[in-house]
């Protein structure tokens, strides 16, 4: 039997389920020709089918070694590792593949989806776009929902909707694409389009035996039919999923059923909970109090757009302030940018020490380290360029919640950047944090006591920075912003160095979508309906009032 016939025979036997016999035959033939690519592939498949993943991996890795340009072999190794729960190793293989074959679509698709899972949405979307450019149309359409979902979370619902249409044109029965079309219309605030898209998704889901009741309720809620949505959710059991309970809690609160609403919010958060390491948070906050008072800072750069930092707890009004500011033609909305957190790691690497950053940063006082803050600045601006924020406006906003914790690092890189700190009644902030799923603040938002602990700790840090380091952000009270917007916007724009613009009065008419839980609110004119929401839950909040007492006093708030 010639080689081709032998290989074909082994493949047929493998497909027929005779994996053990194939593994034995492949092993015998590999003894004579250990670098045979086809035999190595067959041996790997047979070994995995026989429950011998170690041998399968050895064959795949040897295959990659003897055929380094065979992209399919690298793809096989990556997917093998993924199947066996070794996600990071699989991604490393895919990254190596991109390094030697920049146009390899499978590797780009793999890395892109992994990045999106880690919330690196811009980078993940970039890889998926590369993959789609190098795939046939039918295969490119299969990646459209994943790319569309990333773009939706980046605040680009129109592009997400276009990708959903592309995917549905290629596969009309694709439920993920139909759901994406519905969510894109929902987040755009287009109730008729959302209802039409949902009708299609519902038909597909019914045929597949999938439950889309939560999506139905969300669509009804944006169309002004929130009472119908609540009636649907009221039929859910109390052990329903976390997202459904949070939505029901928000709607019950709107209906004035506050006690039942709070039960839903607490239960929903418990279903979704991620661990909050209070001891680790306290250690980090304690380390942040050791920042030196006098350090060299980066000189300004006038050749690119500059950041405006909007700081504050989640749900404190940062999205609202960003939406108002970005209505100005000289300010572009950046959203929740991860650059400051990334800058921490970059700075730590440059300083070359195992000490905490606030301690090791004292090395900047040494003459041959004076230039490092300029590298901090340029790292941040390089990331902004990758996100497309370096041109088209004089400023861009960075509204990542809780950036105030890293205010000393920000000041090293941008000593003159506007720092704007949103401050809202702490109890209103806590109620809103409990009503939404979010991971900001080391997962502090899943239990009321953790959220209060984090809020109090951050408030104390802000005071320490002001008194000891002279870092004094401009404080904007949410309650003042919604009741006297003109005066507050004038203060903020003066801090930025720009005159107010008439378009900022009609910020809610912007076509921009804010990809946060506040996206619906910031499409409305200013209102004070969310002020003192906490009073309806005063009894449930009573245990944490002593925890946030100092923060209440600092903000001029009362209980």
Q: How far is CA 150 from each of CA 114, 145, 161, 322, 471, rounded to the nearest angstrom?
A: 12, 9, 12, 21, 35
DSSP string, 425-478: -HHHHHHHHHTS---HHHHGGGSHHHHHHHHHHHHHHHHHIIIII---PEEEEH
Average pLDDT for 226-230:
95
Query: What separation in angstroms does the CA of 317 have from each of 155, 328, 475?
Result: 18, 18, 12
pTM of the model: 0.87
Which pLDDT score, from 0 to 100, does residue 226 have?
94
What was the pLDDT predicted at 181?
97
Domain annotation covers residue 91: no
Cα separation, 267 vs 272, in Å, equals 9
pLDDT of residue 5: 75
Q: Give pLDDT tens digits for 424-437.
A: 999 999 999 999 99
Whether 379 maps to a domain, the answer reads: yes
What number is the average pLDDT over the span 238-253?
94
Q: Give the closest residue to 106 by CA, choosing from 136, 75, 130, 137.
A: 75
Residue 7 domain flag: no
Structural domain range at position 306: 279-554
Strand, coil or helix: 311: strand
**Across-strand partners of 358?**
none
Distance CA 208, CA 84 (A): 28
What tokens were used for 307? 């950041």
**How does pLDDT run across 363-404, given as a tens digit for each residue?**
999 988 999 999 999 999 999 999 999 888 999 999 999 999
Residue 347 lies in a domain: yes
Q: How many domains does the chain have?
A: 1
- Res 515 pLDDT > 70: no
Whether 288 is covered by a domain: the verdict is yes
| 432, 425 contact by CB (below 8 A) | no
In this predicted structure, the answer to whether residue 516 has a pLDDT above a threshold of 60 is no
Residue 236 forms part of a structural domain: no
Q: 299-317: per-residue pLDDT in tens? A: 999 899 999 999 999 999 9
What CATH number is given to the structural domain containing 370? 3.40.50.300
- Residue among 412, 407, 387, 370 at smallest CA distance from 304: 387
In the predicted model, what is the mean pLDDT of residues 1-30? 87
* pLDDT above 90 for 522: no
Highest mean pLDDT among 221-225, 253-257, 362-366 belongs to 253-257
Residue-averaged pLDDT of the chain: 93
What tokens were used for 502? 């008439």
Q: What is the pLDDT of residue 7?
A: 87
pLDDT at position 511 is: 60
Least confident span in 84-88, 284-288, 447-451, 522-526 = 522-526
Check: CB of residue 396 under 8 Å from CB of residue 308: yes
Taking only the tens place, the pLDDT of each residue in 338-357 is: 999 999 999 999 998 889 99
pLDDT at position 513, please? 54
Position 508 in a domain? yes
**287-309: average pLDDT:** 94
Of all residues in the chain, the percent with pLDDT exceeding 90 is: 85
Indicate whether 451 belongs to any domain.
yes
């Amino acid at each position: 039997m010639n080689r081709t016939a032998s290989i074909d025979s082994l493949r047929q036997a493998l497909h027929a389920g005779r994996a053990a016999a194939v593994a034995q035959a492949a092993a015998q033939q590999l003894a004579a020709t250990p670098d045979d690519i086809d035999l190595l592939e067959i041996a790997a498949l047979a070994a995995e089918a026989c429950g011998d993943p170690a041998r399968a991996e050895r064959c795949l890795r040897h295959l990659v070694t003897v055929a380094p340009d065979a992209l399919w072999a690298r793809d096989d190794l990556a997917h093998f590792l993924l199947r066996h729960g070794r996600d990071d190793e699989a991604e490393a293989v895919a990254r190596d593949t991109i390094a030697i074959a920049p146009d390899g679509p499978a590797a780009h698709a793999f890395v892109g989806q992994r990045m999106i899972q880690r919330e690196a949405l811009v980078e993940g979307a970039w890889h998926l776009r590369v993959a789609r450019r190098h795939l046939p149309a039918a295969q490119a359409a299969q990646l459209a929902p994943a790319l569309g979902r990333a773009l939706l979370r980046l605040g680009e619902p129109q592009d997400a909707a276009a990708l959903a249409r592309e995917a549905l044109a290629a596969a009309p029965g694709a439920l993920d694409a139909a759901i994406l079309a519905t969510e894109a219309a929902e987040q755009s605030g287009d109730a008729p389009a959302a209802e039409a898209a949902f009708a299609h998704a519902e038909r597909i889901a019914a045929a597949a035996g999938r439950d889309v009741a939560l999506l139905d309720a969300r669509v009804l809620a944006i169309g002004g039919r929130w009472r119908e949505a609540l009636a649907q959710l009221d039929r859910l059991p109390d052990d329903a999923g976390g997202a459904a309970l949070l939505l029901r809690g928000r709607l019950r609160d709107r209906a004035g059923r506050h006690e039942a609403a709070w039960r839903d919010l607490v239960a929903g958060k418990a279903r979704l909970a991620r661990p909050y390491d209070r001891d680790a948070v306290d250690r980090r906050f304690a380390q942040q109090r050791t920042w030196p008072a006098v350090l060299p800072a980066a000189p300004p750069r006038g050749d690119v757009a500059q950041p405006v930092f909007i700081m504050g707890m989640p749900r404190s009004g940062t999205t609202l302030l960003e939406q108002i500011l970005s209505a100005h033609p000289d300010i572009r909305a950046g959203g929740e940018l991860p650059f400051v957190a990334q800058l921490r790691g970059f700075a730590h690497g440059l300083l070359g020490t195992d000490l905490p950053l606030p301690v090791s940063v004292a090395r900047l006082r040494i003459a041959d380290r004076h230039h490092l803050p300029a590298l901090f600045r340029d790292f941040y601006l390089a990331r902004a360029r990758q996100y497309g924020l370096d041109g088209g406006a004089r400023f861009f906003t960075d509204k990542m919640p809780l950036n105030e914790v890293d205010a000393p690092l920000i000041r090293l890189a941008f000593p003159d950047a506007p720092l704007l700190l949103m401050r809202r009644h702490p109890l209103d902030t806590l109620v809103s944090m409990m009503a939404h799923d979010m991971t900001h603040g080391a997962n502090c938002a899943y239990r009321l006591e953790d959220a209060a602990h984090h809020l109090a700790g951050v408030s104390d840090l802000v005071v320490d920075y002001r008194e000891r380091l002279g870092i004094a952000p401009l404080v904007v009270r949410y309650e003042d912003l919604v009741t006297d917007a003109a005066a507050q916007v004038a203060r903020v724009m003066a801090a930025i160095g720009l005159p107010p613009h008439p378009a900022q009065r009609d910020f809610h008419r912007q076509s921009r979508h804010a990809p946060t839980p506040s996206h619906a609110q910031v499409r409305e004119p200013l209102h004070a309906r969310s002020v003192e929401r906490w009073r309806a839950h005063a009894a449930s909040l009573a245990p944490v009032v002593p925890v946030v007492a100092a923060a209440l006093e600092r903000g001029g708030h009362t209980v």
